[in-house]
Structure 1
Amino acid sequence: MNPLETPLGFCSNFLFVPGTRPERFIKALDSGANGVVLDLEDAVAQEDKESARAAIRAAWPTFSADQKKRLVIRTNSPGSQFYSADLILAQELQVACLLIPKSESVDQINGAALVLENTAIIPMIETAVGLDRLREIANANQVLRLALGNLDLQADLGMVCDPQETELQTARYQIVLASRLAHIAPPIDGVTPSTDDLERITDDAERAKRMGFGGKLCIHPKQVPIVQAAFMPTEEEIHWAKRVIEADQASKGGAVKLDGKMIDRPVVILAKRTLAIAGKH
């Protein structure tokens, strides 16, 4: 099985759920979220790490095969005392995708890939070191797409951002660029801390799409439909995507031009993602 052949590469929204709240797992899957992140890191206190892993392990057999394809486990950061046990859990459950926070080197990602050969990996960029090593991380083994940890990155850089996070625009651009150069799926933008400011959530999601992100992280079910609507393709985008897929299929994977432009793997991925988000796949 190719770990990169997962619908999570096309998801426009990912909803976090604390690993200590198993009663919310199914609710999250039923919320309309494309992807659900079972969190072992920030949402779980140090003394609750083992109970969170136990809760995920106990709930896993209750998920259907389709639900498991939409589930992501966020580990604790590499080098932490909890990371090895998180990888063991992911290997035991054969998870489809792993979100690795505070990713800072190609060795960290390749090390996880050695243990989890059938698991796609989403490195989370949220430190100065991770940002500096973006390109090597993006090109590491089994990387599906990158994710931005905007709040942690602000803290690590000593930033005090305005409501629009203008100060992080350069970092966002670098993550989009690195993803494109590595020929991986468009990255996932970070969270909007507010769950009630609908205008802020909408603006953040629309900015992410304009900048070339393919999705956004959500911390509350109320954010999911707003993010989903912001990333919904236009009719013009859907028409373009269908033409790209048709041209790619006609060429049987060979080099082909559309409207005078070469169609390569990232363009095909973008077209497939566009149709998937629009429900046209």
Structure 2
Amino acid sequence: MTAHPLTWLYAPGDRPSVVAKALVAGADVVVIDLEDAVAPDRKGYAREATAELLRTPQPVPVHVRVNALSGPWGRSDLAALTTAPGLSGLRLPKVSSPADVVRVARRAVSAHGGTLPLYALLETALGIERAHAVARAHPSLRGIAIGEADLRADLGVRDDAGLDWCRSRVVVAARAAGLAPPTQSVHPDTRDLDGLRASCLRGRSLGFLGRAAIHPRQLPVIERAYLPTEEEIEQAETVLKAAAAHQGAQALPDGTFVDAAVVTAAHRTLALARRD
């Protein structure tokens, strides 16, 4: 996996042919979904098909979104999958408390020993309110993100901007807990690529890094939106050259003020551009 995954492509676990296409679609991470994308009468088949696939290592990191432990399928998902050699991480739905993460962590021992990397999805008002506590719940938790469709339904929000406070709350919680920036939730209209790009740029401005996708055609749009532009790279290089030549705060010829925080941001920009 690259140090900064930008694209996370979901594929339904009960459709092995779709999963096979996702594995070669160019995503940084493939997420096999056993939860919302799978009908109740297909849960068992999806679990078995996913376990069969993950008996061998895959060409890209593969995560599985399991069913919630509070329901009838979650424990069976963990029992069937956690020791699979091809599994790189688990995405946990409907997380509303640190205890939800801890319960999974106790069961999620990987094939290589140790706990699998876990990623918590916050999909309710209570989950958002407890975002920082969830983010610090267990050392195996590597990230938090929002499940926006469920959160929108829970809050009764109709306009997209109505979720901006929740988005910022999760970005701050992740940073305060020392986690990577959250990934954006999926853009549900797979044909609206202009809308996807605009939404990604908005997410980037809020502090997100990368995005989940539900169709391969969304991947290049997400990557382009989240990678620094040539202008941003040039500006970062200018900042670092100036900082190397003169210690302390200074102003560049174009009026840009440079201090330690600006230098840190420039390093981050170039690291993302290099994908390291």
Q: State the TM-score, normalized to the length of structure 2.
A: 0.82
Code of the aligned partner of 1:193: P
Q: Please say if residues 22 and 216 of structure 2, whose CA atoms lie closer than 8 Å, have aligned partners that are also in contact.
A: yes
The one of 132, 135, 141 aligned to 1:135: 132
Gaps of 5+ in 2: 109-113, 245-257
SS at match of 1:131: helix
Does residue 168 (structure 1) correspond to residue 159 (structure 2)? The answer is no
- 1:73 partnered with 2:64: yes
TM alignment of 1:153-164, pairs within 5 A: 153-161=151-159
* Residue of structure 2 aligned with 1:151, choices 140, 149, 152: 149
Distance 1:80 1:186 in 2: 29
Query: By how many angstroms is 1:114 displaced?
Result: 1.9
Alignment length, in residue pairs? 251
Match of 2:51 in 1: 57
Spell out, residue by residue over 1:189-215, the C-alpha distance to the aligned partner (whole angstroms, 9 max, x if none). Answer: 111111111211111111111110011
SS at match of 1:98: strand
1:221 has 2:219 as partner? no
CA offsets 1:43-100 (integer angstroms, 9 cap, x no match): 1000111100110111123543x52xx1110011230111101111232315221100
Identity %: 32
Are residues 1:35 and 2:29 paired? yes
Offset, 1:235: 4.5
The answer to whether structure 1 residue 184 and structure 2 residue 184 are counterparts is no
1:103 aligns with 2:95: yes
Q: Is 1:123 aligned to residue 120 of structure 2?
A: yes
> For 2:38 and 2:203, how far apart are their aligned partners in 1?
27
- 2:260 is matched with 260
Deviations 1:2-61 (A, max 9, x none): xxxxx3762111111000111122311211111110000011000111100110111123
| Residues 32/134 of structure 1: CA separation in 2 closer, same or farther (3 Å cut) | same
Inter-partner Cα distance in structure 2 for 1:159 and 1:179: 23
For residues 194 and 262 of structure 1, the distance between their equivalents in structure 2, rounded to whole angstroms, comes to 36
Residues 8 and 46 of structure 1, relative CA distance in 2, 3 Å threshold:
farther
Local SS of the residue matching 1:227: helix
Q: How far is 1:138 from its partner?
A: 0.8
Output the CA distance in 1 between the equivalents of 2:185 and 2:155: 16
Structure 1: give runs of 5+ residues left out of the alignment: 1-6, 248-257
**CA distance, structure 2, for counterparts of residue 35 and residue 171 of structure 1:** 25
Write the distance in 1 (CA, Å) between the matches of 2:49 and 2:38.
12
Q: CA deviation at 1:234?
A: 3.1
Counterpart of 1:48 in structure 2 is 42
- Whichever residue aligns with residue 20 of structure 1, its letter is D
Question: In the TM superposition, what is the alpha-carbon distance from 1:237 to its structure 2 partner?
Answer: 5.5
Larger C-alpha radius of gyration, 1 or 2? 2
Greater mean deviation of Cα atoms: 127-136 or 231-240: 231-240
How far the C-alpha of 1:279 sits from its partner, in A, is 4.3
Query: Structure with the greater relative contact order (CA < 8 A, sep ≥ 6): 1 or 2?
Result: 1
1:17–1:36 CA contact under 8 A, matched in 2: yes
2:96 partner SS: coil
Report if aligned partners of 2:2, 2:275 keep a CA contact under 8 Å in 1. no
2:17: which partner in 1?
Answer: 23
Corresponding residue of 1:200: 195
Pairing 1:269-280 to 2, within 5 Å after superposition: 271=268, 275=271, 278-280=273-275
